[in-house]
Amino acid sequence: MVVAAFLVRGKETALIDMGYQSSADTIKGDLAKHGFGPDQLDYLLPTHVHLDHCGSLGTLAKTFTNASIRVHPKGERHLADPSTLWKGAAELFGEELMRKFGRPQPVDQKRLRKTADGDVIDLGNGVRLRTVWTPGHASHHLSYELEGHRAFFTGDAIGVCYPGFPILTPTTPPTSFNLEQTLKSLERIRATSPLDFYTPHYGLVGNATQWVHENVESLHRWKSSIQEMIKKGFGAEQISHALTDDRCNKLGRAGSEAPDYFRTLVKISVLGFIRYLEK
Ligand SMILES: [Zn+2]
């Protein structure tokens, strides 16, 4: 389990994040188990246009033809034409992983609706989602606050902590990662005094304010250790190894025990961090 999708139900229903293209059948199957057949979903809300969050959107849009699709203006063109997205990801992840992810289908432009910071989606029965622009991981990144519940669907505004390898790790990919913006977004989330986070990587996190604090700390620690290693002449690969080992040590495990998906996460995050520091 590396990426989660969340179904939010009022009178109407919204799906926040939807996994890779290869996740489409799982999502459809799980929705069917909850009684949602074709056309019975009202909103599709990708937090941002990375393949693990919106890869299945084009396929799902064809099944759920009534669903309104909301996206930040900067992400819109990538959903209508995912070719740039695909090319950029292929350079980072390589052929084998791209086959596993699956190639996203384009979304009909007419279905896409631009959303802005502060927009509210009223699902009825007192369930309201407020759109919160949380750039940093990506410039067009959106989170959703569940109003009145002190709960947040964070998307990748918050770091990763996989159930199979439960250690907090920043997600700071190229080309758009920006540390200042990430920290500002975290501060913005913290200012709402959240209790619960629903995170894509992975699941429910209680004690949300403490989790924000730990995220901020981990970003500062990464910044100084990556800067130090760059000064020593380390390349991206050496830095990734060192930080993977560091995370494994914190978990009380040997570096060799890190699963592939975790190594990939650290590698991509290190590349993004280095690129940001070079700017
Ligand atoms: Zn992402």
Supply 194's token pair: 């959240």
8 Å CB contact between 154 and 198: yes
Q: Count H helices, E strands: the chain?
A: 10, 13
The arithmetic mean of pLDDT across residues 105-127, rounded, is: 97
Distance (Å) from CA 117 to ligand 1 centroid: 19
The confidence score (pLDDT) of residue 119 equals: 98
* pLDDT tens digits along 130-184: 999 999 999 999 999 999 999 999 999 999 999 999 999 999 999 899 999 999 9
Distance (Å) from CA 237 to ligand 1 centroid: 21
The confidence score (pLDDT) of residue 2 equals: 86
Distance (Å) from CA 171 to ligand 1 centroid: 7
Q: Please enumerate in sequence order all residues whose Cβ is within 8 A of that of 223, keeping only pairs 6 or more positions apart, or say none.
A: 179, 273, 277
Closest by alpha carbon to 216, among 158, 262, 172, 173? 158
CA distance 170 to 273: 10
CA distance 106 to 72: 16
Element (H, E) at 113: strand 112-114
The count of other CB atoms within 10 Å of the CB of residue 131 is: 19
CA distance 27 to 15: 10
Classify residue 60 as left (phi > 0), alpha (psi -120 to 50) or beta.
Answer: alpha
Distance (Å) from CA 137 to ligand 1 centroid: 7
Looking at the DSSP assignment, which residues form a beta bridge with residue 144? 131, 153
Distance (Å) from CA 208 to ligand 1 centroid: 20
Distance (Å) from CA 221 to ligand 1 centroid: 21
Mean of the per-residue pLDDT values of the chain: 96
Amino acid at 50: H
The confidence score (pLDDT) of residue 39 equals: 87
pLDDT band at 66 (very low <50, low <70, confident <90, very high): very high
Q: Please give the share of the chain, as a percent, with pLDDT higher than 70.
A: 100
8 Å CB contact between 10 and 44: no
Supply 240's token pair: 């990734």
CA distances from 198 to 77, 106, 231, 258 (A): 27, 27, 37, 24
Distance (Å) from CA 68 to ligand 1 centroid: 22
Distance (Å) from CA 67 to ligand 1 centroid: 23
Distance (Å) from CA 12 to ligand 1 centroid: 27
* pLDDT tens digits along 228-275: 999 999 999 999 999 999 999 999 999 899 999 999 999 999 999 999
Looking at the DSSP assignment, which residues form a beta bridge with residue 142? 133
Distance (Å) from CA 10 to ligand 1 centroid: 27
Distance (Å) from CA 125 to ligand 1 centroid: 31
Supply 186's token pair: 């975290």
Indicate the pTM of the whole model: 0.96
